[in-house]
Amino acid sequence: MFVTVGYSDNPDSVVAGRHAAQIALSKANREERCDLVLLFCTARHNQRLLRNAVAEVVGNKSCIYGGGAVGVITNEYFGYAGDQVGIALFWFEDSKCTILTEEGLQESERKTGVRLGERLAQIGTTQVSPVVLFYDAIDRSKGDLRLLMATWLLDGLENGLGFLPDLIGAGMQGDHLGSETQQYFGNRMSVHSAIALTFSDDIQMNSVIMHGCHPASPYYTVTKADGPVILEINGKPALQFMDELLGSAISQEYYPFFLLLGINQGERWSEYDENNYASRLCLGIDKERNGIVMFEPDMVEGTEFRLMYRSLDLDYMKPKINALFEQIDGQEALFAMYIDCAGRCAGYGGVDMEDAILIQEAVDNRIPLLGIYTGVEIASIGGRPRGLDWTGVFCIFTKKKAGKGNSVKHENKHVWNRKNIGIRQNREIPLDAVVKLCEQNAAKILSLDAQSISIRHELEQKRRGFGLLSELSVYLQQGAGDDDIFLHVTQRINSALNMQRTVVLFPNDKSLFVPHILQGYPEELKEKITELQIKIDASFLEPESPVLVTAADDDTKLSDFREILKLEYFISTPIVVKNEVVAILITGRMTEAVPFLSRLSLSDVETVQAISTLLASAWVYRRWNDADKLAQTDGLTGLLNRGALELQTIKALKNCLSSGKICTFIIIDLDHFKQVNDTYGHLEGDAALKALAQALRQTFRATDIVARIGGDEFAVFCTFCDNVEQITRRVSRLIENWNHTPLVTTTGAEFYSSLSIGISVAPHNGTTYTELFQSADNALYCSKQRGRNQFTVSGSDEAMSKFSPT
């Protein structure tokens, strides 16, 4: 089996799909089509356009599987909450892979699992068969978000198959908010589906899990539960129990995605062993029932758990991965997959470094790597595949080498000894005071953990903001146009600052503002808003006081404006140049969802203000460029004027002479131009000059310098010519074409004109602008003396080379 990977973060779905696929193909250097494409993208992308673009590149429309991901990791790149696309191309060679799909998760995870399990049994799946399971983690079929449960899906799979195979997997979602995404289903797309990739037995999966969590409390017991909702703990309503336990250290709004519970199946008070703990993350709170909603429904009545805190030190990751590589002696390492909890990314996870960076460093380009940020991770723990939270699952796919046995011993094959559960009851620490002290310490630890996450999130947003400013400064220096830089800025704001929608408003001549750029909007909504003319409140025009609207504000604050832009919470700052508002930058979010879409803060305001200042500088720079261009341009024809011709020719002449090539200076005169003005009028004369300017553009190269030097005279400096004949052929064609070009007046009358041209050659006729100009002018005079409608090349003798049409 042979695998390559590709990555893109281009916001254009078509470009991103092509780019990622082309990168992966370029690494393969194979002519035959790949057998399988794994494709993942964030919810920002148009998935259908992306899929079609990938299919166009790989040449196989029926082998694309995958779906949504919060972010992507490869050997060289990683990113999340933006426009990331990740792709892996597989050539199976003498190995095999059977792909099975089942729909209907929204109706029943268990029944879908049973059907999938039965089909796995039909193809001969065994307990050692390597299986990768991808499933849709989000159900929005009834409007509200419901998390589809890996526990129930795996229960059904075990029921249908009779056992659970060697399995890893991921619950797919496209962003931290759980926006609905589709799954790639071979030659089509689907939702609420499960995909099982079953590899032949010559392929082996060798995996290790990364929790990075440690116990912070004594044990507590779930005394009542309903599916994923814990209703009672130690006989008290669950929410009340946690409030009393944690006190004022952590408010309820921070429970989701922060409160982490650990289920230990090892010795109760033995030294902490990560392999004995399954982490369970809080998804939300049920105030009506005083309950805590978990990501998985397996914390049933009687389940004992401990509060867990996240380690800020990720140094444990590299040794675990290196140890896994060392264990696969006798196996050929083919490909690595990293299934990473979306909450573990820096800025949300409260860590000092992205775990993606550590994964990249540990893999060290030894094999292709594709990682995805997911909603749920599945790996074997306690001898059984389980849905996990706040976990990274790193897996190396290997193939047995000829004559070698399998020496790999899986860390995740450790089987929990459930008999110890009854024994450990006698080992509880009986001292209530010690337990109370432990609880107090737990509250303090978790409080510090929450503060760390909050600070880390703010620092991460600042880092992204500074990175964006640096990127935009470079982009500005590269000379992008106004529309280009505004478009680029709004695309990058959404991605870099984790905003959902960004708008640029321009003023019109009616003291109203019109939407010029809308990012993050569906096409149909974009079309409606683009047509609007918006009256702006005076508060939007104050550069020193940006507008900030959050959920803390009254619903009536700027309610009309919020409704017009369909943007609930936002920051607005004007782009001001010389005390004039030239545009308004507005960026924000449609909802607040701690911690992934936290409340907009003054820190965010400062970042957006800095961006608007940069845009104002870009505006000034562009206007200066426009003025500079105008100063060098002939107002009638749009060609360079005489001053610009001289400056550019002097510079180009120096470069050309140093290269050893020849260059030519050409002066062109429109014959009998005074008669045209006298006969048809000056407006028709202007039209003739414009027509000739266009003819010159079409005749000469883009690298040549074309100018109008006054009245009816034009000049061209041609660089890097191999010989004079190259130019004379072009000039001959110009004269011929112009002779047959009708000039039509506004009254419909037609007339024709001719050209007289003089040519000088460097270095033969001179090496300075003045020398070449004088020689070409003399040659032009010679053409006129000989009857016009011809060109003359300046020579050393009195009889200059000449051409006149037959």
Q: Write the pLDDT tens digit of every residue in 371-382.
A: 999 999 999 987
Q: Identify the pLDDT of residue 137.
A: 96
Q: Identify the pLDDT of residue 268.
A: 79
Cα–Cα distance between 355 and 408 in angstroms, integer?
A: 25
User: Is the pLDDT reported for residue 244 higher than 50?
Assistant: yes
User: Is the pLDDT reported for residue 285 higher than 80?
Assistant: yes
Residue 569 and residue 538 in one domain: yes
User: Is the pLDDT reported for residue 773 higher than 50?
Assistant: yes
CB atoms near residue 363 (< 10 Å) = 23
**719 within some domain:** yes
Q: Identify the pLDDT of residue 448.
A: 66
DSSP β-ladder status, 392-400 and 236-237: unpaired
**531 within some domain:** yes
**59 within some domain:** yes
Q: Which tokens in the block code for residue 231?
A: 């209703």
**88 within some domain:** yes
What would the mean pLDDT of 318-342 be, rounded to a whole number?
93
**326 within some domain:** no
Q: Across the strands, what pairs with 309? A: 214
**The CATH number of the domain where 619 resides is what?**
3.30.450.40
Model confidence over 542-562: pLDDT tens digits?
Answer: 988 999 999 999 999 999 999
More confident of the two residues 358 and 461: 358
When the pLDDT of each residue in the chain is averaged and rounded to a whole number, the result is: 87
In terms of average pLDDT, the best of 312-326, 412-426, 666-680 is 666-680
**753 within some domain:** yes
Residue 573 and residue 484 in one domain: yes
What would the mean pLDDT of 418-430 be, rounded to a whole number?
43
What is the band of 692 on the pLDDT scale with cuts at 50, 70, 90? very high
Residue 193's Cβ-side half-sphere holds a number of Cα atoms within 13 Å equal to 20
Domain that holds residue 285: 215-311+421-449
What would the mean pLDDT of 632-651 be, rounded to a whole number?
89
Residue 525 and residue 432 in one domain: no
Model confidence over 176-222: pLDDT tens digits?
Answer: 888 889 999 999 999 999 999 999 999 999 999 988 788 888 899 99
Residue 435 and residue 495 in one domain: no
Q: Which of 67, 93, 119 is the last residue of a domain?
A: 93
In Å, how far from its chain's centre is CA 415?
41
Q: Identify the pLDDT of residue 434.
A: 59
**The CATH number of the domain where 56 resides is what?**
3.30.1330.40
Q: Which of 58, 93, 128 is the last residue of a domain?
A: 93
Residue 219 and residue 183 in one domain: no
Q: Identify the pLDDT of residue 431.
A: 57
pTM: predicted TM-score of the whole model, two decimal places:
0.66
User: Is the pLDDT reported for residue 100 higher than 50?
Assistant: yes
What is the band of 140 on the pLDDT scale with cuts at 50, 70, 90? confident
H or E segment to which residue 220 belongs: strand 220-226
Domain total for the chain? 5
- What count of residues does the chain have? 806
Percent of the chain with pLDDT over 90: 61
Cα–Cα distance between 189 and 800 in angstroms, integer?
A: 74
Residue whose pair of structure tokens reads 């995870």 in the numeric block: 109
What would the mean pLDDT of 671-682 be, rounded to a whole number?
91
Residue 74 and residue 147 in one domain: no
Alpha helices in 597-742 (DSSP H): 602-631, 642-659, 673-680, 682-699, 724-739
Residue 597 and residue 617 in one domain: yes
User: Is the pLDDT reported for residue 629 higher than 70?
Assistant: no
Model confidence over 51-84: pLDDT tens digits?
Answer: 999 999 999 888 999 999 999 999 999 999 889 9
Residue 507 and residue 597 in one domain: yes
CB atoms near residue 43 (< 10 Å) = 20
Residue 558 and residue 695 in one domain: no
More confident of the two residues 10 and 346: 10
**337 within some domain:** no
Q: Which of 146, 172, 201 is the last residue of a domain?
A: 201
**353 within some domain:** no
Q: Identify the pLDDT of residue 312.
A: 61
What is the band of 420 on the pLDDT scale with cuts at 50, 70, 90? very low
Cα–Cα distance between 277 and 298 in angstroms, integer?
A: 14
Residue 168 and residue 33 in one domain: no
Going by C-alpha positions, the residue among 287, 266, 268 that lies closest to residue 277 is 266
Residue 31 and residue 88 in one domain: yes
- Cis amide prior to 763 (ω within 30 degrees): yes
User: Which of 149-153, 166-170, 498-502 has the lowest average pLDDT?
Assistant: 498-502
Residue 581 and residue 536 in one domain: yes
User: Is the pLDDT reported for residue 658 higher than 70?
Assistant: yes
Model confidence over 444-474: pLDDT tens digits?
Answer: 677 666 666 666 666 777 777 777 777 777 7
Q: Which tokens in the block code for residue 351?
A: 């860590």
More confident of the two residues 562 and 594: 562
